[in-house]
Structure 1
Amino acid sequence: MDKVNNILITGGAGFIGSNLALKLQQMYPESKILILDDFSSANFKNLKGFKGEVLACDVSTDELFYKVEETKIDLIFHLASITDTTVTDQELMMRKNVDGFKNILELAYDTEAVVVYASSASVYGNVKEHIPLKEDREKSPENIYAFSKYIMDNIAKDFSERTGIKAVGVRYFNVYGPREAHKGKFASMIYQLYLQMKQGKRPRIFKWGEQKRDFVYIKDVVEATILASKAPGTTVYNVGSGQARSFNEVIALLNKNLGTDFEPEYFDCPYDFYQEYTQADMTKIKEELGFVPKYDLEKGIKEYVDILENRIEETF
């Protein structure tokens, strides 16, 4: 990313947003970074050490335009949305996620800014075949959260064709890492299992732990998100590790790094819809932007546990 004067991060006090803000601050100390967040699912503690401006704002309302009217935004990272996949209020989800995104695109048009926005691997739905998921495969969103992200992808493409504004989606898979603790029960399964084991409990997972996910470490996610601003045009990129790993493997690695020997406690899955397998095809982002993940599950869990156990400091 070339130097930009003014960067806006929506949802910048959340998990991915705060990690992104602190990395950008390190990379571009002369740039002005403005964070907007309604703090509905964020925590100010995530921004310890942030030197920019933070404003409370619901980007799905006209409040957005008043908050930034004195700033010429060059680059927008749009991460603000309802990310709780258990929310069933369809009107609320669509208003916050889709209407909020449309406001961001209008702001980008007004200021001629580039937009990088958070999409989601959930748009692919419950894939039966165990193959890496390509960006152009058929989409089958199974809940209102996934549907809202699917519609955002459609809107970005249409808006770009009409206005010339570049809007790049980053389709996150299962992200884990520092600054997610505030999410509580919606934090990553890796963090949830770590907490159970720290409390001396057997880690609980659905039978029989062989469900596989593409777990991607937050540092790789931040790097890919920043690189996405260099995309040649409006498009969507998968952001994962490119590997599908089981929950049994996660528990084994947590045991190894904690020095414990907990056996999993298996129980029946209570959900009608549950993704058994996710794996990102990372070919497109590698070929177009040169992004290659630096963290496999072994390296990511080791660093994360070391941070949680205060063996090392959080660094970028």
Structure 2
Amino acid sequence: MRVLITGGAGFIGSNIAFALQDEYPDAKVYILDNFSSGHFKNLIGFKGEVITGDIRDKALWDELRKRLSFDVVYHEAAITDTTVTDQKLMMEVNADSFRYILDSALEWNAKVIYASSAGVYGNTPPPMVEDRGLEPENVYGFSKLMMDHIAQDYMERYPELRIVGFRYFNVYGPRESYKGKTASMIYQLAVKMMHKQRPRIFKWGEQKRDFVYIKDVVKANLLALEKELSGIFNIATGVARSFNEIIDILNRELGTNLETEYFDCPYDFYQEHTQADISRARKELGYEPDFSLEEGIRDYLKYIKA
């Protein structure tokens, strides 16, 4: 099996790469990344090959089709900073380039498993279901929704092509530290509290998110590899938890008693409550999350401390 992972030096992509290396030792894994947000240290121990390039470069895809072929493409490359407001850049990177990937997959007869986002739902009432409430609040969420539309168009036109889209909710876990300010609040709060600094969150900490641990996200990606299906799926836990609860869990796990400092949210757009309906992923993929928020944070802290 030959696998290409776009954005493979990033958070989710690098975790998928190492999972494939462990679960499919005979597979040949290639990573394509422009290292704008990914980091080489996420790939220490990776035994495959790295191609440096930009997914917007059509000539790159033409060259790849000449020289290589793949059985599976994991497409994780994207602008993941939801505060970026450059609409043209966001659409070119996240949406337009997706067509190059799908056209290449058609030529290779490769399965495509790609990253969408819960950002497509905006502030519509939870629980979020895949076929409703598609009202993104920012251009990031819009670009991901347009990816889903492109994917659905290719599914209809080329039913033989297997395309699986994952609307990730709030993912956290090892190898996200190089994302900087876009790393999960769980990571940022944990590091702050480990240094005995008071946690700071938007008033009044009751905003809720469906936090999903990276190991469950990887599990979903490996299930999609084994299943012969196409579709778009929510990947989450199906349970919404507040930022105040995260701080309570961290205080308990770290043996601290740090008081929260609240401040005003500076953003015009902000999701107040995300919670996924994961019944489609359960039924069609056989996906079931293994980690509650408490279990995920407990496991993650071992990595952060190390």
Quickly name the TM-score band, shorter chain normalised.
Answer: over 0.9
Q: What letter matches 2:79 in structure 1?
A: I
* Deviation digits for residues 254-310 of structure 1 (CA, Å, limit 9, x no counterpart): 111111110110111122221110111111111112110000000000011122112
The answer on 1:65 being equivalent to 2:65 is no
Q: Which position in structure 2 is the counterpart of 1:197?
A: 193
User: Residue 77 of structure 1: SS of its match in structure 2?
Assistant: strand
The answer on 1:117 being equivalent to 2:114 is yes
Give the whole-Å Cα distance in 1 for the aligned partners of 2:255 and 2:95: 45
The answer on 1:40 being equivalent to 2:42 is no
User: Residue 257 of structure 2: SS of its match in structure 1?
Assistant: coil
- In structure 1, which of residues 14, 30, 47 is the aligned counterpart of residue 10 of structure 2? 14
User: Residue 67 of structure 2: SS of its match in structure 1?
Assistant: coil
- In structure 2, which of residues 239, 242, 267 is the aligned counterpart of residue 271 of structure 1? 267
The answer on 1:235 being equivalent to 2:219 is no
Q: Please report how far the alpha carbon of residue 198 of structure 1 lies from its aligned counterpart in structure 2 after TM superposition.
A: 2.2
Q: How does 1:145-156 map to 2 (within 5 A)?
A: 145-156=140-151
Asked if the contact 1:156/1:234 (under 8 Å) is kept, the reply is no
Q: How does 1:275-294 map to 2 (within 5 A)?
A: 275-294=271-290
Where does structure 1 differ by over 6 angstroms across 4 or more consecutive aligned residues? none
User: Residue 69 of structure 1: SS of its match in structure 2?
Assistant: helix
The answer on 1:27 being equivalent to 2:23 is yes
Q: Please report how far the alpha carbon of residue 225 of structure 1 lies from its aligned counterpart in structure 2 after TM superposition.
A: 1.6
Q: Which position in structure 2 is the counterpart of 1:132?
A: 127
User: Residue 150 of structure 2: SS of its match in structure 1?
Assistant: helix
- In structure 2, which of residues 70, 73, 76 is the aligned counterpart of residue 76 of structure 1? 73
Give the whole-Å Cα distance in 2 for the aligned partners of 1:67 and 1:158: 24
TM-score (norm 1): 0.94
- In structure 2, which of residues 289, 295, 298 is the aligned counterpart of residue 299 of structure 1? 295
The answer on 1:99 being equivalent to 2:96 is yes
* Count of residues in Structure 1 that have an aligned counterpart in Structure 2: 304
The answer on 1:162 being equivalent to 2:176 is no
- In structure 2, which of residues 253, 258, 264 is the aligned counterpart of residue 257 of structure 1? 253
Q: Please report how far the alpha carbon of residue 160 of structure 1 lies from its aligned counterpart in structure 2 after TM superposition.
A: 1.9
Asked if the contact 1:6/1:71 (under 8 Å) is kept, the reply is no
Asked if the contact 2:65/2:104 (under 8 Å) is kept, the reply is no
Give the whole-Å Cα distance in 2 for the aligned partners of 1:33 and 1:230: 16
User: Residue 245 of structure 2: SS of its match in structure 1?
Assistant: helix
Q: Which deviates more from structure 2 when the two are superposed, residues 11-20 or residues 155-164? A: 155-164
Give the whole-Å Cα distance in 2 for the aligned partners of 1:227 and 1:94: 29
Asked if the contact 2:7/2:77 (under 8 Å) is kept, the reply is yes
- State the superposition RMSD in angstroms: 1.2
Using a 3 Å threshold, how does the CA distance of structure 1 residues 68 and 23 change in structure 2: closer, same or farther?
farther
Q: What letter matches 1:80 in structure 2?
A: A
Q: Please report how far the alpha carbon of residue 68 of structure 1 lies from its aligned counterpart in structure 2 after TM superposition.
A: 5.1
Q: Which deviates more from structure 2 when the two are superposed, residues 183-192 or residues 134-143? A: 134-143
Structure 2: state its 5+ residue gaps.
none
Aligned-pair identity in percent equals 57
* Deviation digits for residues 142-200 of structure 1 (CA, Å, limit 9, x no counterpart): 11111110001001111121123221100000000000000011000001111221232
TM-score (norm 2): 0.97
Give the whole-Å Cα distance in 2 for the aligned partners of 1:116 and 1:37: 16
* Deviation digits for residues 198-245 of structure 1 (CA, Å, limit 9, x no counterpart): 232110011111111000000000111221234543310000011100
